[in-house]
């Protein structure tokens, strides 16, 4: 592990409003300093490690809306927090921290550090519409951008973004409290569902995102890194078909054919097929 939990707390000292100097300083120090890191025209950073069909994503911006600056971060009993009246920035500093450690550990994957996720996923939208060749051949995309301890997200909004089979196997390999959840809202991986079969989002141990009460379980983040190293990513099942829409709570109409009755024989009544009201 290159970056220890206390380094993660250091990540949080950067209030990273989109396009702010502190976001630029953060990217320059931690991401651009990695040999082989590349950037696209939008400003997304990416690097590929080994031969792989797996992508990992996080985002560099936070929801600090005011003039961004550095902030003091406190650590107590394994938790990181601030008393500044602003968010901590674990969403998604923790995802960035995990990905940098995975790169350092040579875990095979395409690693994408998106820009402007908090303003509608603009960085991921750029790749999907302007640079889709970047994710050619990718079968699974894992965003590290979710609250809590145990979610393997299957749905973002109302739309299914990864199969139940994929989510169950990934949860099994991660262990702990991880299990499939259909309660996702939005993260960058949701934009790739037309291109990539299995797109999910994993809990990384923060709570109360986007608020002054945001906190991060540092011990959990460390444990999760070692779990991510052990997952057999390339053997995970690929079931979902890109572009096929399935929605939470609704009947699957993908194979729907209109019903054309020839006779109305129901509830014990007679044949009304020739019945005319007038």
Q: What is the pLDDT of residues 207-219, one digit of tens each?
A: 999 999 999 999 9
The DSSP code sequence of 76-88 is ETTEEE--SSS--
Find the CATH number of the domain harbouring 229. 3.40.630.10
| 67 or 220: which leads in pLDDT | 220
As a whole number, mean pLDDT of residues 255-269 equals 37
**Separation between Cα atoms, residue 72 and residue 83, nearest integer Å:** 8
Band (263; pLDDT cuts 50, 70, 90): very low
Number of domains in the chain: 1
* Residue 18 belongs to a domain: yes
Q: Does residue 37 fall inside a structural domain?
A: yes
126-183 per-position pLDDT tens digit: 999 999 999 999 999 999 999 999 999 999 998 999 999 999 999 999 999 999 999 9
Asked which of 67-71, 97-101, 240-244, 265-269 is least confident by mean pLDDT, the reply is 265-269
Asked whether residue 264 is assigned to any structural domain, the reply reads no
70-125 pLDDT, tens per residue?
Answer: 999 999 999 999 998 999 999 999 999 999 999 999 999 999 999 999 999 999 99
Q: Is 172 contained in some domain?
A: yes
CA distance to 120, 138, 146, 156, 164, per residue, from 193 (Å): 16, 11, 18, 10, 15
Q: CA-based angle 21:27:75, to the nearest 5?
A: 90
Domain that holds residue 43: 5-235
């Amino acid at each position: 592990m290159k970056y220890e939990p206390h380094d993660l707390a250091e990540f949080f000292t950067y209030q990273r409003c989109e396009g702010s100097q502190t976001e630029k300083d953060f990217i320059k120090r931690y991401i651009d300093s990695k040999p082989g890191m590349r950037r696209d025209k939008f400003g997304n950073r990416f690097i590929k490690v080994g031969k792989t069909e797996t992508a990992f994503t996080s985002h560099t911006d936070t929801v600090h809306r005011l003039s961004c600056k550095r902030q003091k971060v406190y650590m107590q009993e394994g938790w990181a927090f601030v008393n500044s009246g602003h968010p901590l920035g674990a969403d998604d500093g923790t995802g960035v921290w995990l990905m940098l450690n995975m790169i350092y550990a040579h875990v095979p994957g395409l690693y994408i550090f998106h820009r402007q996720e908090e303003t509608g996923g603009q960085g991921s939208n750029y790749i999907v519409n302007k640079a889709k060749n970047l994710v050619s051949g990718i079968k699974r995309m894992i965003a590290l951008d979710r609250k809590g301890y145990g979610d393997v997200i299957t749905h973002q909004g109302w739309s299914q973004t990864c199969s139940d089979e994929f989510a169950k196997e990934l949860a099994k390999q991660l262990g702990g409290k991880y299990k499939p959840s259909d309660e996702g809202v939005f993260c960058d991986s949701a934009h790739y569902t037309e291109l990539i079969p299995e797109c999910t989002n994993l809990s990384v141990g923060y709570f109360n995102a986007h608020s002054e009460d945001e906190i991060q379980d540092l011990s959990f983040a460390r444990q999760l890194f070692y779990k991510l190293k052990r997952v057999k990513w390339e053997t995970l099942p690929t079931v979902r078909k890109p572009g096929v829409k399935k929605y939470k709570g609704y009947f699957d109409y993908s194979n729907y054919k209109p019903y054309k009755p020839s006779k109305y024989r129901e509830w014990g009544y007679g044949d009304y097929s020739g019945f005319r009201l007038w």
